[in-house]
Structure 1
Amino acid sequence: MKSTGLPSILLAASLGALSGATGAADYKQNPFTLTYQGALTENRPGQVSIHPVTYKLHGLDIVANVYTPANYGKGNGGKSYPAVVVAHPNGGVKEQVAGLYAQRLAEQGYITITADAAYQGGSGGQPRNVDKPAYRIEDIHGMADFISQYAGVDASRLGLLGICGGGGYSLSAAQTDKRFKALATISMFNSGRVRRNGYVDSQLNTIQTRLQQASEARAQEAAGGPVRYSGDANLTDEQIAKLPFDLYRQGYEYYWKTHAHPNSTFKYTTSSLLDLMRFDATNQIELINQPLLMIAGSKADSLYMTEDAYAKATGTKDKELFLLQGATHIETYWKQPYLNQAVEKLTHFYGKSL
């Protein structure tokens, strides 16, 4: 089923807290270094709270934030809550859009968790900024491990939300991890397809050249040489304005300016391309039999990836493609009314599915 909007009566319902979430916040002014407008600055009794946690995953320290609903643990008589795991975008960290959606879902009564990927952000792992699909998928399983044991969580009502690159990895994780009873994506980004073919399949003629570069980078690492990185650039405003795609132009604006965080970076080890370029988020996607909601902006130049995955997800009888009319990819991260619509849609979806 494909839908393109929400009835106005639904938009007005239970979203008053979102009215200020249109801009950004300076991470330096937030005690949790959160970058989004309306972010928590302290935990107050009876209100939504944030809990920084650290846990081990294959010997690495993983840093995460757990968000709990209002009145959590306060005279609830053993009340249990559904939970949602939130996977962040490529290059993103838990303090940006993943934290925003985690907080908003907590406002709707869910315990949520979002963690920095292994080798990225504040989490452990060397060399820094390895971006291998198997690691990102394992991060999602690890968040499920941790939050399933968290006080008050009903592990039988566990949902998954993946944003951008985290959306592609969530599609893969949910194929086999049936602890997830429902799966949603926002602005899904198929990392393997883009690293292999280029964005909007614009680099098909250089695949073998880039594979050779990745192979050489791996050889250099194995020989004890310096780690090579891709995706790292220091562009001027003029150079950013000339980038060919909205995702890149607005992405630089989001990650470098309005929602910048010191742990967030576009760069990744060039040797990661050996794994990335043979990965595809839609491979074996028919294994997903859980309810599936895919949200994307109608004007996003990344929409082709969501539409492709949605068409291939033939294993579930309960799926919906929901378009945020007028939104680009990055605008789904922060801009009203798109944020309001997405949160309302997610609340309804998880409420029905969990």
Structure 2
Amino acid sequence: MKSLIRTAAFLFTANLLSVQALSAEYRQNPFSLVYEGAITENVKGKVNIHSVSYKLHNIDISANVYTPPDFDPSNKYPAIVVAHPNGGVKEQVAGLYAQQLAEQGYITITADAAFQGASGGEPRHIDKPANRIEDIHGMADFISTYPGVSPAQIGLLGICGGGGYSLKAAQSDKRFKSVATLSMFNSGRVRRNGYMDSALDTIQQRLKSASEAREIEAETGIIRYVSDDKLTEEQIAALPFELYRQGFEYYGKTHAHPNSTFRYTESSLLSLMNFDAATNMDLIGQPLLMIAGSKADSLYMTREAFELATNSQAKQLFLIDGATHIETYWKPEYVSRALAKLSHFFAKTL
């Protein structure tokens, strides 16, 4: 069981079931969006989606910008940057929230992380916190000069792992006038300690393995990856954490996208395992909203970071009654509650 837990901490892979069978839904959408109610065409007077690309440290970044109904580029609109979960892509939950916030009158942007998804960067699937934080700064760079955006009214929403990285970005980047997280996941703490601190006894072993992986990269150029293993449906059902069980279902079946994978370079662990999203939380002076499901087994990470945000001008912890971590990504009643809170928060703080 311990080996399964550690494997799941690296996984969520969408490769355990037939990709061809599970990825049909993305092919039914011209923008390859996989969430309920996704835009299928740009219609005048409604929310429109715009595929854009830009350079970030010479890496091509692939992003989607959503403009609100009756968008007029000669006017000025508040904007919201949306950071996607670990292993996720802009066409999944990040796109859902970006589209719904655009319905409320915001210009929104969500981009695939560098080295991941449709964005460039080699070797593929590097997953380092510094890169993910820089991705968020880069989205702010791009959207602040987008036609119609008021650069003095930029907010930030981070989902799951993107939530942890958003907290770090907002600590120093004061272009973000307010910051919100949904089902925040502290990637560094989990990669170091295991989910719910279930792998404390293997920290040194995993650090040595990651060090060896980097040595091999330097000597031979061969990249060693984590999360290439596959679990059967029976093994998934036996996993002790609901986040992992439901995560496999979301990423591998109901909302599968071919660009979404939890495969990452093992050498990335050298950066991940000494990272912690909850450090220096006192640097956040902006209004802060942290949303999580009341039944989420990841809730402990949101609570810890929230308590440490002692200098936020105004902070709120909002629990969605009955929701688990993954259910906040797609279940309509929980998404609507989160969006209602986010709409009120951003309307007040931007």
TM-score of the superposition, structure 1-length normalised? Answer: 0.91
Q: State yes or no: 1:229 paired with 2:229.
A: no
Q: Secondary structure at the match of 2:220?
A: coil
Partner of 1:109: 105
Instruction: Tell me the distance in 2 between the aligned counterparts of 1:311 and 1:277.
Output: 22
Give yes or no for contact 1:175–1:288 (8 Å, CA) kept in 2.
yes
Q: Secondary structure at the match of 1:271?
A: helix
- Deviation, 1:234, is 2.0
- Deviation, 1:266, is 1.1
Aligned counterpart in structure 2 of residue 207 of structure 1, from 186, 203, 206: 203
Give yes or no for contact 1:87–1:162 (8 Å, CA) kept in 2.
yes
Instruction: Tell me the distance in 1 between the aligned counterparts of 2:307 and 2:348.
Output: 22
Q: State yes or no: 1:123 paired with 2:119.
A: yes
Instruction: Tell me the distance in 2 between the aligned counterparts of 1:225 and 1:83.
Output: 41
Partner of 1:58: 57
Q: State yes or no: 1:147 paired with 2:146.
A: no
- Deviation, 1:183, is 0.1
Q: Secondary structure at the match of 1:252?
A: helix
- Deviation, 1:334, is 0.5
Letter of the aligned partner of 1:279 in structure 2?
Answer: F
Q: Which structure 1 segments of 5+ residues have no match? A: 1-23
Q: Secondary structure at the match of 2:64?
A: strand
- Deviation, 1:232, is 2.9
Partner of 1:328: 324
- Within 5 Å, which residues of 2 pair with 1:260-279? 260-279=256-275
Among the aligned pairs, what percent are the same residue? 70
Q: Secondary structure at the match of 2:32?
A: coil
1:213-237 CA-to-partner distances (Å, cap 9, x unmatched) read 0000000111124211112332221
Give yes or no for contact 1:25–1:37 (8 Å, CA) kept in 2.
no
TM-score of the superposition, structure 2-length normalised? Answer: 0.92
Instruction: Tell me the distance in 1 between the aligned counterparts of 2:230 and 2:166.
Output: 30
RMSD: 1.1
Partner of 1:343: 339
1:255-292 CA-to-partner distances (Å, cap 9, x unmatched) read 01000000000111000000000000011111000000
Letter of the aligned partner of 1:313 in structure 2?
Answer: A
- Within 5 Å, which residues of 2 pair with 1:1-354? 26-73=25-72, 78-354=74-350
Q: Secondary structure at the match of 2:141?
A: helix
- Deviation, 1:25, is 8.4
Q: Which structure 2 segments of 5+ residues have no match? A: 1-22
Instruction: Tell me the distance in 1 between the aligned counterparts of 2:99 and 2:230.
Output: 31
Instruction: Tell me the distance in 1 between the aligned counterparts of 2:270 and 2:57.
Output: 22
Instruction: Tell me the distance in 2 between the aligned counterparts of 1:115 and 1:207.
Output: 32
Instruction: Tell me the distance in 2 between the aligned counterparts of 1:345 and 1:87.
Output: 18
1:79-119 CA-to-partner distances (Å, cap 9, x unmatched) read 21000000000000000000000000000100000000000
Q: How many residues align?
A: 328
1:141-196 CA-to-partner distances (Å, cap 9, x unmatched) read 00000000000000100000000000000000000000000000000000000000
Instruction: Tell me the distance in 1 between the aligned counterparts of 2:246 and 2:278.
Output: 26
Q: CA, structure 1 residues 25+84, in 2 after alignment: closer, same or farther (shift >3 Å)? A: farther
Deviation beyond 3 Å, 4+ runs, structure 1: none
Give yes or no for contact 1:51–1:65 (8 Å, CA) kept in 2.
yes
- Deviation, 1:132, is 0.1
